[in-house]
Structure 1
Amino acid sequence: MENAHNDRFKEALQASRKTAKEAYKESLFFADEVKYQVEELTRNIRVQTDALLREKDAENFSFFPVLSGIARKLEMQTSESMQDLRHSIELKKKHLNDFTVALFGRTKAGKSTIREALTCGDGGTIGMGAQRTTRDVREYHWNGLRLLDVPGFEAFKGDDDTAKAHDIIDQSDFILFLASDDSIQPGEFDHMVRLQEINKPFMILLNVKYNINNEAELKRFVRIPHKIFDNERLDEHQKHIRSYVKQHMNIPYVKIVNIHADAGFKSTQPAYEAYNADLWRLSNLDEVHNAISAEVQKRGKQRRLLTFYDSVIYFADTLEKMMFEEQLSIRTQAKFMVKKRKELSAFFDRFSSDGEGRINTACKKHFDRIKQWIPDFVDTNLGSSNIDNLLTSRLKEEQDVLKSKMEGELQSIVSELQEKLAEFTKQYQFDLELLETDPVEMNGLKKGQVGRIAKWGGVVVGGVSATAFILAQVGIANFWNPVGWIAMGVSAGAGLFSWLFGDWEEKKWNKAKHDAKEQLTRMIDDAHKKAVESYLGWFDRQIIRKGKKEMLGQVSVYINGLFGIANELKVFSSEIRLRKMNMNKKLFAKLLSFEGVNCTESQMIALSREQGRGTKIMVPNEWQMVGGIKTNIDIICGEQVHLFSDTPNITERICRALYPADVTPDMIQLSEVVESRQQEATITVPTREKGKLIGKKGINVRLASEITGVKLIIP
């Protein structure tokens, strides 16, 4: 009987190896496809930013470094993500023939003791639970299995260590999660949640830490084991664990085995030869061995398949969400900049009006002063043979004074422009840093994904937009470059009175003083008008038109660049989503085939999945589904899997998609499609059905909405 059991175990291992090799090829093909998409994404973004560089005066385009910085950041993100994917696949490639079991738990829970017992070790690794890196992960082979003894939770204190722990779990097919009866901490179960995030199956070993280091205690243990394995006490521990798993992981049942790790280890040691058989039996490690053996025989192929497929699907899901969040962030910036462009345009309009007023006031003040001395000048000098020279000299002095004062006034106006633009820029940066990604979208990220996105260089988790991130590198002073394009040479006043002198010299001083005063005043008024026109023209050309046009032009190009990058990311995210769905279809087609259902991914009409939480699959209407198939896949995947038949009636399709909620067509009110908007359906159900309709954390209605393509509204 034992030989037959061993033969079935070996056959199951052999079958799982074949499955692993096929899954490896699919994973590699998937990685190559994603790599091509990543290269196309970076190439398209670079084409856009390079086109900006070829624009006229691109070297003065102060927004270009920001767009270029965003492009570099995205290249870094995608490059690191592809390295992670390749690393994950290559790790698994090294162990295609191995069904891998990882011992996972807190420090001093007894992992190394159990491993030493299972592999008949000498105890040399016991008590080394504080090791800190994956170099300290100990690998063994036991009864055809690959066994990993992983450092305790406390060892993984930083992001790098957490990533290493993720690698270990990622390459494992099954997890033995250890807890001990002496100190069960709520924090331990947080690590169980991580297992669910990457969809890893596990069982819990509850290690009884009764001391049998002296002979009296050992004999007592052998003689009255039920005193140590106190069912009432241990059942309470198990109840507590199962309650947490059900509440936080939505897993209705998890297998828990009470063990005594030290008894198992001592049973393999010569010093305890007289008690070997009893110690091994009482350790309960046979039940652990039998559970793993049963897992391999029943689901070995499925577990190996899931190790490869769920790993790349989890990767794709993370990359898709990261890029979708990035495009939302960038698109938010672009919309923000559209608003700021309007504000900037209004700012220039206000500044133009203020500047024109200052120029008019300054010119009027100067020419009013000139006209004040004209009567006295005429009275004093009319009839003098030297009056032309005196007038020319006086007007040249006035021209120099006007030129000096107006240059100072214009310099003051430009300085004020610089100051106000600097204030505008600071406020812009402050407002920009307050921009945050939609919290609803952020809640869609799992804990493990947030960590991975942070590792890949995403700024989503910080709530700070990419531009604000780049601004910190570029520097606020160089960002707008607000007056670098303004030529400060002010020559509008040069030669202002030259026409007047020549005309004056031709005049005959044979008229009355009154006529001379009026004629000279009119000429000064003309000079005043020409001076104002000249200075206002310069101000309009050099400050307002050029400044407003060039700066708003920069902003417009930047906005278009942001929208362009956001659109590329959105397309990329959609393509990754499609590839992820196809991988999910392949996965479930294979899982169904293992259950005896002849199915290909092309036969699946639609699929919607939140890994580790739930899956809905729409299949042809003529399919006949056996209830047991669904149950088996639920157990295998560790998530609720719902298969339902398609129907041309949209309300009936929605009803089927919303299972397990009891929804009938009369409870659904469809809204008409307006232009290209998504179709909506309002669903009104009895209060008792709302919980099932929505599902835990909204998963049922989300998946149903996605698979039907209809926005579902629950009032």
Structure 2
Amino acid sequence: MKEAVDDTPYLSSLQSCNRVAREEYTAVQGYFECCDTIIEALRKKLQGVIELSSQTLSEDKMVEDGLTNMLQDLERDYGKLLSKRNANLAKLKRSLDCFNVMLFGRTMAGKSTIREAITRGDGQTIGKGAQRTTRDVKEYEWNNLRIIDTPGFGAYNGQEDTRIAHEILEQSDVVLFMLNSDSIQESTFVELDHVHKLNKPLIFVLNMKKDLENSGNRRRALRSPEKYIFKEEDIQGHTDRLKNLAGRAGINPSTVRIIPIHAQAAFLATVMKGEEGSQLHELSRIDQVLNALIDEVEGNGPIRRVQTFLDSSLHHLDEQSLLILSQRDRLTKLLQQYESSFTRISQWKVKTLRDAPRLLSKEVDVAFKPLVDSVADFVDDHIEDENAAVAWDRHYKSFKITKKVERSIQALAEQVVEELQDFNREMNEGLDITLSFEVAHDGRNFSEFDFKRINGWGSAITGVVSAIAFFNSWNPVGWVAAAVGILFITFSFFSDSRAKKLKEAKSKQRHALLDDIEKGKRKIKANLESWFDTSIYRAVIVPVENNLSLLCQAINGFISELDGTDSQLYTLRHEINFRLLNRVSYIIKKQHFVLPNALKIVRIPGYACYFLISDYFRNSELLWAMSNAMREKIIVVYDTGLDKKISHLYRGLVEKIEISEQDKVSMFAQKRNISKIIGKDHRRIKMVAALCSCEITLVAI
């Protein structure tokens, strides 16, 4: 094993690591302060949208409360991310002078045994059987490195252990990923995926399980290690399995290197003296792991420290951005539903406004028809009656016209309310479907939201409608009797012309009654139309439509502010990525300002980095060295025509490119090249579309 002595490249690299760590810590603090300023500005802008809406929306404040709830949800979830981010930054601060190596792996994979061997411990923390030994984070020092032993993942009821291990991952510069030769299980893929997303360099260590406590087993192992412990077919099988899991997690399988060791032999070598101890140390192959760590520090130590700080800050910034985008996407879904609802209710309002007066007129006609039909008979019966007016009053009341009109009008009012309530139920059912679909298909790295609260305040119509007391403030038919209170004339009849005069009197009296009834009906209809306009249309229908319109405007305001915030966070990510590229290039070339100014950077840490430039730049050697050091493909693209940029990124894979509009691209390619063009989890084609600011349609030929 290599030893660290004064003035070696190893110690010189560690000194550079410490200096770099302090510089990057200060930079990250500044980036986080900018992020907090952006989010605080968003909070104030959203509060402004709420205050503006509250000045125009209904007095029940239902919509205002809903918007406030939305803002509070954002503040709550951002507060959780902020707490997590600041806790991680505090831990990074405590390890500024350390290069951090994390022991990570399943429970009982041999992490504690390795650590005991490296630090020459007494073996007290080494597990026996199936027990979980490391329940807390333990830190040790070896060769000026900080070795962090973490709880294993995959244990029964071990969720808390896994959470603790994940927190430590962010602070680590290199990860020793421990594997057990008993089996490489599916849970390994889940953790590989998590480590890869954090862009942590991995050294895979395969612990070959064979108990050497027994002296006979030790003799056989020492005599034939390749046959007894390090069987080539077993190691190859585990390697193939790991490469398959790594590929699924997005790690290039060709970069996977496994170091097979025997952890127990490494520990026993520290407690057994003499030749047997030396033989066990050699048997364990632990020096291969330690030399790999030393090589990593010497070759890439400062770069790893830069990545630990800047990639960690990018990770937290991405979580914050995803929170904003998640709420923005859900609000967009919500807005689509509300705008559709607004269109429907506007159409319904026009129809109701057109049909209601006709219905009211018809109902009045129907209510009065029996009275109108009875006029002739009444006149015949009462033309000579001195108490005809009293008889007419009794006759009119017997038809109960007032009650009939009231029932009809009440039915109309109830119909309006019922239609609004049915409409509201349909709208909320649509929201339930939309939002539940969004939840089911949005399972990435950000937290789930409580849509019931949105759905609760989203029922703006119901609150408005149910609050109206339709029949407490109007009585449009109470004066019907007065309207048809006819004054009967007392006639003097002469015997010689009695029949003729009686006939003329009857005709005159019938026409007088019918004319007066018609005037009364017109007055009733006019009053009912006025009632409908005031008490139904203006008091119920218009506020519902206005509230929906204002709600759509308020949500649009929210979306606009969220878009602006996302744009600001994108600019901040660009600055961090550009700093990362410049820092890495400086560490490699020992020269400032080697890279040209980047117009745009699209990067998935650990996968690829595309950056757009306008200045001339030809330094393939530097790009190759940066790609190797950062473990991601770095490609420079000139800001030329859209087709040329895409052709450069897909050199040799695309047959033809057609641009139908400014940002609409059809890309034609052979079927055999489609998977290469798309990339793992669609990453490559998404990066190309993002860098070129276009929408790509892929056509197989």
Work out whether the TM-score is over 0.5. yes
- Equivalent residue for 2:316? 315
Indicate the residue corresponding to 1:184 in structure 2. 184
Provide the C-alpha distance between the structure 2 equivalents of 1:620 and 1:515, rounded to a whole number of angstroms.
99
- 335-344 vs 228-237, which deviates more? 228-237
Q: Is the 8 A contact 2:38 2:565 kept in 1?
A: yes
1:708 aligned partner? 692
8 Å contact from structure 2 (residues 153, 162) kept in 1: no
- 1:604 paired with 2:598, answer yes
- Given candidates 262, 268, 284, the residue that maps to 2:264 is 262
Q: Structure 1 residue 547 and structure 2 residue 555: aligned?
A: no
Partner of 1:224: 224
**Displacement, 1:690?**
4.6
| C-alpha contact (below 8 Å) 1:586/1:600 kept by paired residues | no
| SS of equivalent to 1:175 | strand
Paired residue secondary structure (2:178) = strand
Residue 493 in structure 1 maps to residue 481 in structure 2: no
Deviation at 1:172, TM superposition (A): 0.9
Counterpart Cα distance in 1 of 2:291 and 2:381: 125
For 1:158 and 1:83, the matched residues in 2 are separated by 23
Letter in 2 for 1:264: A
Shift of 1:127: 1.8
Contact kept in structure 1, 2:62 and 2:457, CA below 8 Å: no
The structural deviation recorded for 1:45 is 0.5
Measure, in 1, the Cα distance between the counterparts of 2:156 and 2:570: 31
Cα distance between partner residues in 2 of 1:622 and 1:139:
48
Whole-Å Cα distance in 2 between the matches of residues 306 and 23 of structure 1?
Answer: 9
- Shift in Å, 1:483: 4.0
Q: 1:689 to 1:474 in 2, by over 3 A?
A: closer
| Secondary structure in structure 1 of the residue aligned to 2:618 | coil
Letter in 2 for 1:495: W
Q: Does the Cα contact within 8 Å between 2:483 and 2:517 map onto a contact in 1?
A: no
Q: Would the aligned equivalents of 1:486 and 1:543 in 2 still touch at CA under 8 Å? A: no
Contact preservation (8 Å) 1:106, 1:153: yes
Q: Distance in 1 between matches of 2:61 and 2:12?
A: 67
- 1:628-639 alignment runs, 5 A limit: 629-639=622-632
* 1:484–1:436 CA distance, 2 compared to 1 (3 A): closer
The Cα shift of 1:709 comes to 3.2
Counterpart amino acid of residue 143 in structure 2: N
Say if 1:3 and 1:109 are closer, same or farther in 2 by CA, change over 3 A.
Answer: closer
**Matched residues, number:** 682
Query: Secondary structure at the residue paired with 2:322?
Result: helix
Q: 1:479 to 1:322 in 2, by over 3 A?
A: farther
Structure-2 residue corresponding to 1:200: 200
Q: CA RMSD in A?
A: 3.1
**Residue aligned with 2:593, SS:** coil
Q: Which residue of 1 aligns with 2:41?
A: 40
Note the 1:328-347 alignment, pairs <5 A. 328-347=329-348
Summarize deviations over 1:400-426 as a string: whole Å, max 9, x none. x33333333333333333333222222
- Counterparts of 2:641 and 2:359 in 1: how far apart (Å)? 72
Q: Give 1:85-484 correspondences, 5 Å limit.
A: 85-127=85-127, 136-155=136-155, 163-227=163-227, 228-251=229-252, 252-269=254-271, 275-352=276-353, 355-356=356-357, 358-392=359-393, 394-395=395-396, 397=397, 401-435=400-434, 450-451=444-445, 453-454=446-447, 458-459=448-449, 468-474=451-457, 479-484=462-467
Residues 681, 163 of structure 1: alpha-carbon distance in 2 compared, 3 angstrom cutoff: same
Alignment partners' CA distance in 1, 2:387 and 2:566: 86
Give the Cα separation in 2 of the matches to 1:358 and 1:156. 71
Give the distance between the partners of 2:301 and 2:437, measured in 1 at CA.
41
Sort the Cα spacing of 1:159 and 1:72 in 2 relative to 1 into closer, same or farther, 3 A: farther
Cα separation, 2, equivalents of 1:504 and 1:123: 118
For 1:275-318, what per-residue CA distance to the aligned partner results, in whole angstroms no more than 9, with x for missing partners? 32222221111111111111111111111110110011122223
Whether the aligned pair in 1 keeps the contact of 2:612 and 2:639 (CA below 8 Å) is no
Deviations 1:227-249 (A, max 9, x none): 22122321332233234324542
Please report how far the alpha carbon of residue 651 of structure 1 lies from its aligned counterpart in structure 2 after TM superposition: 4.0
Which 5+ residue runs of structure 2 have no aligned equivalent? 493-503
Q: What letter corresponds to residue 700 of structure 1 in structure 2?
A: R
Tell whether the 8 Å contact from 1:633 to 1:641 is kept in structure 2 after alignment.
yes
- Match of 2:465, SS state, is coil
Q: Is the 8 A contact 2:14 2:301 kept in 1?
A: yes
**Contact 2:70/2:454 (8 A) holds in 1:** no
Q: Using structure 2 for the length normalisation, give the TM-score.
A: 0.89
Aligned equivalents of 2:197 and 2:131: distance in 1? Answer: 25
Deviation readout 1:564-597 (Å, 9 max, x if unpaired): 1011111111111111111101101111111105
8 Å Cα contact 1:316/1:577 also seen in 2: no
Q: 1:193 to 1:524 in 2, by over 3 A?
A: same
Q: Partner of 2:121: helix, strand, or coil?
A: coil
- Structure 1 CA distance for aligned equivalents of residues 131 and 529 of structure 2: 77
> What residue in structure 1 maps to residue 501 of structure 2?
none
Secondary structure of the corresponding residue to residue 508 of structure 2? helix
- The Cα of 1:554 is off from its aligned counterpart by 0.4
Distance 1:80 1:656 in 2: 42
2:545 & 2:60 partners in 1: Cα distance? 14
Question: C-alpha distance in 1, partners of 2:568/2:398?
Answer: 72
Q: Deviations over 1:72-126 (max 9, x none)?
A: 2122222222222222211111111111111111111111111111112222222
* Preserved contact between residue 9 and residue 293 of structure 1 (Cα < 8 Å): yes
Do the aligned residues in 1 keep the contact of 2:66 with 2:454 (CA within 8 Å)? yes
Is 1:52–1:64's contact at 8 Å kept on the other side of the alignment? yes
TM-score normalised per structure 1: 0.87
Alignment of 1:643-682 (within 5 A): 643-644=636-637, 646=638, 648=640, 650-659=642-651, 661=652, 667-671=656-660, 673=662, 678=663, 680-682=664-666
* SS of the residue 2:619 aligns to: coil
1:463 corresponds in structure 2 to none
- Mark the runs of 5 or more structure 1 residues left unpaired by the alignment: 460-465
CA distance 1:316–1:45, change in 2 (3 Å): same
Return the offset for 1:495: 2.4
Indicate the residue corresponding to 2:498 in structure 1: none
Give the Cα separation in 1 of the matches to 2:69 and 2:684: 40
Partner of 1:462: none
Counterpart selection for 1:528 from 503, 521, 535:
521
Specify the code of the residue in structure 1 equivalent to 2:403: S
1:567 equivalenced with 2:560 (yes/no):
yes
Residues 654 and 670 in structure 2, CA contact (< 8 A), matched pair in contact too: no
Q: Is the 8 A contact 1:196 1:612 kept in 2?
A: yes
Corresponding residue number in structure 1 for 2:496: none
Q: Does 1:514 align with 2:514?
A: no
SS in 1 for 2:59: helix
- Measured at CA, do residues 479 and 6 of structure 1 come closer, stay the same or move farther in structure 2, by a change above 3 Å? farther
CA distance in 2, matches of 1:346, 1:685: 48
- Could you tell me how far 1:352 is from its partner in structure 2? 4.8
Q: CA contact under 8 A between 2:609 and 2:634: conserved in structure 1? A: yes
1: CA distance, partners of 2:436 / 2:595: 35
Contact kept in structure 1, 2:4 and 2:11, CA below 8 Å? no
Instruction: Tell me by how many angstroms 1:255 deviates.
Output: 2.2
Contact 2:170 2:198 (8 Å CA) reproduced: yes
